Amino acid sequence: MKHNLDLAGRHVLITGGAGGIGAATARISVGLGARVSLVDVVDAGGLVAELRAAGGDAVAHVADVADRAAVERVAAAAGPVDAVVANAGICPHDDWTADDWEDAFHRVMDVNVLGTLNCARAFLPPMYQRKRGRFVVIGSLSGRAGRLMAHDQAAHYIASKAGVHALVKWLARRSAPHGILVNGIAPGPTRTAAFTNANPDLSAYPLGRMGDPEEIAWPIAFLLSERASYICGAMLDVNGGNYMP
Ligand SMILES: NC(=O)c1ccc[n+]([C@@H]2O[C@H](COP(=O)([O-])OP(=O)(O)OC[C@H]3O[C@@H](n4cnc5c(N)ncnc54)[C@H](O)[C@@H]3O)[C@@H](O)[C@H]2O)c1
| Whether residue 41 has its Cβ less than 6 Å from ligand 1 | yes
Please work out whether the CB of residue 89 comes within 6 Å of at least one atom of ligand 1.
yes
For the cut 90, the answer to whether the pLDDT of residue 54 exceeds it is yes
**195: pLDDT strictly greater than 90:** no
**Pocket lining: 98 vs ligand 1, CB cutoff 6 Å:** no
**With 90 as the cut, is the pLDDT of residue 1 above it?**
no
The neighbour count for residue 195, using CB atoms within 10 Å, is 16
- Can you state the angle between helices 155-175 and 115-130, rounded to 10 degrees? 10
Collapsing DSSP to helix, strand or coil, 152 comes out as: coil
128, 157, 205, 230: the catalytic one is 157
Which pLDDT tens digit goes with each residue over 127-172?
Answer: 999 999 999 999 999 999 998 866 668 999 999 999 999 999 999 9
Beta strands in the chain (DSSP E): 11-15, 35-40, 57-62, 83-86, 133-138, 180-187, 235-238
Query: At how many degrees (to 10) do helices 213-224 and 20-31 cross?
Result: 50
φ and ψ of 133, to 5 deg: 155, 160
Q: Would residue 157 show up in a list of annotated catalytic residues for this protein? A: yes
Kindly list the distances between the CA atom of residue 67 and the CA atoms of 5, 15, 61, 88, 99, in Å, as whole numbers in the listed order.
34, 13, 13, 13, 25
Domain segments of the chain: what residues?
Answer: 11-238
One-letter amino acid at 223 equals L
CA of 33 to the centre of ligand 1 (A): 24
Atom of ligand 1 nearest to the CA of 210: 3
**Rama region for 179: left / alpha / beta (φ>0; ψ in -120 to 50; rest):** left
- pLDDT tens track for 105-126: 999 999 999 999 999 999 999 9
Overall fold of domain 11-238: Rossmann fold (3.40.50)
Pocket probe for ligand 1: among 112, 190, 199, the residue whose CB has the most ligand atoms within 8 Å is 190
User: 190: pLDDT confidence band, cut at 50, 70 and 90?
Assistant: very high
Q: How confident is the model at residue 167, as a pLDDT?
A: 98
